[in-house]
Amino acid sequence: MSTAPAVHPLRRPVDAPERRLHAVAEPDRKRRPKLLYGIIALLGAFAITGAQMALSVLITQTSYDIAELTSQQRDLTYQKQILADELAGLSSPQYLAANAAALGMVIDETPAYLRLSDGAVIGAEEAAGTVSSVDAIGRGAVENALISETPLVTAPDATIAGDPVTAEEMGLAADTPLPVTDGLPTPATR
């Protein structure tokens, strides 16, 4: 057996690339970091931190302001309700009747009417007497708690609250109920 010599392909010689490196005559100075950039970065960080702190303080102060305004609103709502109750008491028929009685007005038990078609007076033609059948300033049938201590507009020293009449003052025994003369009696509680 014969052995054949190994055949290798021919290679072209490879051209060596040119080297781009060259010798430096004098090395460059070492560059220092710019001090101005560092100062600006630190000032920016401090500004952001300061802004966050200022916003936090403002938000906290706003929360306190909201809480205070809520408290004021609640107090004003209470005052509004108190004033509405006082207005309801002062516009009640009982208070208006007491003021009218203090002015000398009386309730006529026999009212008269004027017929507009011919101008005729129907009913009693005489005016009511000087004494009213209802005592609006004295002891009322049912005392109005909203205005019991409120002085009358027309008589500042008078109120609608009168002293309750007791059975002894009327000449009755202590266990005798009071007679009903002008409405339902109110119980005396102690």
Query: Exposure pattern of 137-173 as b/e (b: 16+ CB <10 Å)?
Result: bebbeeebebbeebebeeeeebbbbeeeeeeeeeeee
pTM for this prediction: 0.44
Of the candidates 74, 140, 157, which has an alpha carbon nearest to the alpha carbon of residue 82?
Answer: 74
pLDDT single digits (tens) 92-106: 888 888 888 778 787
pLDDT one-digit tens code per residue, 57-87: 999 999 999 999 999 999 999 999 999 988 8
